[in-house]
Structure 1
């Protein structure tokens, strides 16, 4: 007699139509576990709490520690929404760095977020999209890891929630929430890892391969660098786990070949065009060199800025406020060490321990630095940093590869500690929970700092620019740059109605087309930047004037605009000498109408 196993695990006769229908209705009915609801609600509330000041001041608030990154990302979201409405190619834009343009695929413009949220951008503005992307990124990443841990790793949902909160709200993700949504929206990564593991069973290679390929392709449109970092961490984890069971690992590898081939084919077929555009398309670049930016060892023992135990300046060894990639704090490091020893006999815990150690060492860079002092001791990164793809990665970010493994250790430890309580060994449970609190509470995130953003000059805010722009570009003095990208915000507020020279992006520079933040500067752009820094009017000869005219024609400039800025009087006199005409004050800025000098723009 054929039997169907119901959710309760009791056998049932197939001939009983009524009971079969009841079983199907029971399976289709959505009945979330109260613990799941509590975990999801907690993660969402915590994400909103982290960004509460930004939510309170939508449209006017600016994450002060983002530098110019929030402006850049809002510009990305606005351009993506514009491309959807106009049915334009979203992979490229000439609205900044005019006329050369920007390769947006090479700038991690997060099409996986910017395109689906285009209606939000169009209705409420890119500032809302930026804040929503960060909120969904934090909470979604925590929820995703909680789901995988609770369904596939541990029995206790509380233990799974501990793992979720570490993956979704670790210091690195809170730090990147200031301005890097691509390093916050990591919610696909746990499912990619799960998909790789499922391929090892060989049970459903076609279905599992297609699903994994779709996930990888979508993650490429969310962020390639996090995918690379977490993939490397998973390789380390897989090798460490396979070392405990080499025969079983070899069998799994053989079974997964077909599924991996399908996954690779699906991912490449969907992402081939964006990837080609990124690496070989217009305005593509070879590699982005950052110089040595490995973690100091004290970056692991210290506390992050936006945490209960942190304060401004506490993360002194970070590259900047958005790159606090380690900062686990010494209590958590001790707990992870003890957890690795306590759970060493468990293959999962052993692999996780090895992964935390390996990715941590890799994040230290080419040589060991302790307390700001380079010891000169070579480290593994020195020997792999030149490899393709890796050469563009900030090595300090490899510390983020520690997070899933650290979360796994804490989830396994919490699960065992709670099991000990059920077995009557309450001392172990109390010790674990107590030290877990000591390790995690100091790292609890605090709301990110927000300031009021500057308003645009009336020249832009009131639309006066329309009287000076025909089909050419707006050139600000000095040109927009990674140090001052406010012009991108003013342009966005005017619905991207005109292009600008210069900007904040990554693009090719020099004959070798190596990556550079900002444009490949023209001589006049460099001159204006130098004048602002020096505060002195330089000697302007005929050759310099001719070069300025050539640059204005290259930019197809309609108007030069000097907003209020540092050393603006000196800049105004310098431009007067360059083009032979004084500036006109118009609605809060100084203006030079140069359409007569650049007839090509008319």
Structure 2
């Protein structure tokens, strides 16, 4: 390197050059003369010529000038314009950096227009031959010009939509952003121009396209086919964008998911997750009935296999058709237990990978930092709690993709295409889970509001394309989901809302406590006291993580993204407290932040404590930003102290594998098909007590029998009463209530003729063919109650007590 410059200058000019001995001299004369004449406007300056391994006298032209403001950086050999620019920009010290070609096809006087555009709030101002106001003094050959236009059109459509002229070699950048973008580039050819612009777009740095005067110069090294080479370079770059670190991260996510489910993953048919309560039975049934519908070409929106004869509105239950339908072949071949197990394990790993991809693309490039953030987003305590048996809250890989597509809409580049894609993604997510989509929308709205307040200029530029894109997305999505949603809200066995109590919000103590499955800090008794049940531990981030997040927000508060993420986290945590807020350790109750939303359509069915799940990805991104900053520091104390703080915050959240136990065997009466002798067409098999949300083992019997018989009762969401309010399970009947009470208490009430008459009516309504009582707690009182209701004792066969209702008493 010739010449030295210390300190910061106002403007750096970078000129890439390869064998430019003939044209470089006049260009340097024009540039230096103009800058010297206009120092009152552009201030101190330097010119850096990046010699790309020239074999002529290009380098000598620079060194012979003996002007310390004109410097030479030279590569050892010819590697391409991209490599030269990377060297040149890295050597600059300017607060602004101008990149111009050695032929000076755009006169240096056009710098004034770029400087003006940059002063209006941009991070880059690029000269353009294609926007209104541009003039071309001397054109290329017509064929060459047409080929160039076609190549540039392809580049714009494929790589940088919204920018009309990516290859004009006259660009002005803010210095720090230029040095970051060029340092992050990897292309060595002409494609670096596009790669740098892509970097600016990812970082949300405004780029202004400015019309310039341009004249074709003889001897130009840019041939029409070079545009195809740019596309080829970009294609290779995209192929190389999946780094070994990305593959390693994906493998670790899969390993973490396998470890979490290790208790039942390798023998799912005979292992049960007790913390799932009855949800594992329910979800295996969902997968089984969907596969059966696919195999027999029946609608997957309704069945009468449960709640016979009224049936179940499957679309009004979370059957996850987006997963259960594609997994139908696996379910039919190996059973719903294995299918559900594989689906949840792969889905959890895919969700973590999707968050990792979004963080790398939108938040930080540091792979280790992105991995840390994605681990928290996908394996936070609320996610682990739902991993017991709520695949709709575990398989969330579409949510990061939807977030990214919404951000693309806000950029306003390909509004129509991105709107269509977002509509398709949203439709698919509806068939994965509507409540997670609603929660994601709440989180995105909170983030957008916070970011828009901080970056008002971005909000003003984004709202029109965003609104247009959302309307396009709605126009695409609604026709796809209209009929299923109609069936859900107005079809047979539909309901208005699901009752889950007056207040299912989180206690503030839950936000700072540790979950049951925390490997090092878990306390099942404390966690269950602060949650609805083990599958609804929707907070439990722990005080160390929240303290660290607060520190990150304070330390990096000047960054708009940090502000928006911190506000999103805090707002979601507050909303999750529910419609009523009780001050901890007191009896004082205030209206909660969820109260204004509690009775709105859709919101009324949300378990409001789940809103705290929004905090997981927001906290993950804050953590990723902090880790990236910590690892980039040159101070050893800051590095080790920061990483220690992150480890101490995350260590209490490391989950233990989910609890698993041996599954209760299905009676031989079911597995051997003995039930077939008792259940005729149009009849049902009635387990004692009837299946309900507290005991749904009969659903496992039904799937073991390949859905050969139908059941009254069940575990599902359905309507109750004239207002069709949603409840869990079937509408209760006198006989089902009696048998349930006996199963819980072991106490048999006096049963006379009235009870017997009521039982006969209920049996008739259920189209009962046989009553079946399996060994269980309080078996003797249950057998006594059924004997009195039926008027005769049952028969022991196939490991169960059986009352054949076809017999005449």
Partner of 1:565: 776
Aligned to 2:597: 384
What root-mean-square deviation, in Å, do the aligned CA atoms of Structure 1 and Structure 2 show? 2.0
Residue 419 of structure 1 is matched in structure 2 by 632
- Change over 3 Å in CA distance of 1:236–1:17 after alignment to 2: closer
Residue of 94, 115, 119 corresponding to 2:304: 94
CA distance in 2, matches of 1:253, 1:16: 37
Give the equivalent residue in structure 2 for 1:220: 430
Question: 2:543 aligned with 1:330, yes or no?
Answer: yes
The one of 405, 408, 420 aligned to 1:210: 420
Residues of 2 paired with 1:330 and 1:372: CA distance? 18
Helix, strand or coil at the partner of 2:305:
coil
Moved more, 526-535 or 328-337: 526-535
Indicate whether 1:306 and 2:511 are aligned: no
Stretch deviating more after TM superposition (216-225 or 380-389): 380-389
For 1:181 and 1:83, locate their aligned partners in 2 and report how far apart those are by CA, in whole Å: 20
Please, which of 495, 505, 512 is the counterpart of residue 716 of structure 2? 505
What's the offset of the Cα at 1:40?
Answer: 0.7
CA contact (8 A) 2:416 2:472 kept: yes
Aligned to 1:39: 249
In 1: Cα distance, 2:765 partner to 2:729 partner: 17
Shift of the alpha carbon at 1:569?
A: 2.1
Instruction: Describe the shift of the 1:458–1:553 C-alpha distance in structure 2 as closer, same or farther (beyond 3 A).
Output: same
Go from structure 1 to structure 2 and tell me whether the alpha carbon gap of 1:24 and 1:172 turns closer, same or farther (over 3 Å shift): closer
Q: Which moved more, 1:10-19 or 1:306-315?
A: 10-19
Partner of residue 85, structure 2: none
Stretch moving more, 349-358 or 136-145 = 136-145
Cα offset, 1:542, TM superposition: 2.9
TM-score (norm 1): 0.95
Aligned positions of 1:285-364 closer than 5 A: 285-291=495-501, 292-308=503-519, 309-315=521-527, 316-364=529-577
Q: How far is the alpha carbon of 1:591 from its aligned partner? A: 1.0
Q: Does 1:468 align with 2:687?
A: no
Task: Give the drift of 1:256.
Answer: 2.2
In the other structure, the counterpart of 1:140 is 350
**Does 1:255 pair with 2:465?**
yes
Question: Which entry has the higher C-alpha Rg, 1 or 2?
Answer: 2
Distance 1:514 1:20, change over 3 A: closer
| Counterpart position of 1:520 | 731
- SS of equivalent residue, structure 1 residue 487: helix
Paired position in structure 1 for 2:404: 194
Task: Give, in angstroms, the shift of residue 18 of structure 1.
Answer: 9.5
Structure 2: runs of 5+ lacking an equivalent: 1-143, 153-166, 168-184, 191-221
3-state SS, counterpart of residue 200 of structure 1: helix
User: Are 1:176 and 1:184, in contact at CA under 8 Å, matched by a contact in 2?
Assistant: yes
Measured at CA, do residues 151 and 496 of structure 1 come closer, stay the same or move farther in structure 2, by a change above 3 Å?
same
When structure 1 is superposed on structure 2, of 22-31 and 464-473 the one drifting more is 22-31
How far the C-alpha of 1:375 sits from its partner, in A, is: 2.5
- Partner secondary structure for residue 719 of structure 2: strand
Counterpart of 2:215 in structure 1 is none
Q: Tell me the distance in 1 between the aligned counterparts of 2:727 and 2:272.
A: 25
CA distance in 1, matches of 2:242, 2:322: 28
Question: Shift of the alpha carbon at 1:243?
Answer: 0.4
Q: Which runs of 5+ in 1 are unaligned?
A: none
Deviations 1:470-524 (A, max 9, x none): 1110011111111111110011001000101111111111221111111001221
Structure 1 residue 102 displacement after superposition = 0.7
CA contact (8 A) 2:189 2:233 kept: no
Structure 1 residue 453, shift from structure 2 partner: 0.2
Spell out the pairing of 1:71-90 with structure 2 (5 A cutoff). 71-90=281-300
Report the Cα offset of residue 298 of structure 1.
Answer: 1.3
Match of 1:167 among 377, 391, 402: 377
Could you tell me which residue of structure 2 aligns to residue 487 of structure 1?
Answer: 698
| C-alpha separation in 1, matches of 2:227 and 2:434 | 51
1:535–1:570 CA contact under 8 A, matched in 2: yes
1:589 aligns with 2:800: yes
2:704 and 2:506 map into 1 onto residues whose CA distance is: 38
In 1, the alpha carbon distance for the partners of 2:319 and 2:282 equals 10
Query: Is 1:10 aligned to 2:189, yes or no?
Result: yes
Which range is displaced more, 97-106 or 535-544?
535-544
530 and 142 in structure 1: CA distance in 2 versus 1, 3 angstrom threshold:
same
* Structure 1 residues 16 and 343: CA distance shift in structure 2, 3 A: closer
1:59 aligns with 2:272: no
Q: Can you list the C-alpha shifts for 1:249-299, whole angstroms capped at 9, x where unaligned?
A: 122111223211110111111111111111111101111121112111111
Contact 1:298 1:370 in 2 (8 A): no
Q: Give distance in 1, aligned partners of 2:229 and 2:617.
A: 43
Q: Would you say how many aligned residue pairs link Structure 1 and Structure 2? A: 595
Look up the match of 1:405. 618
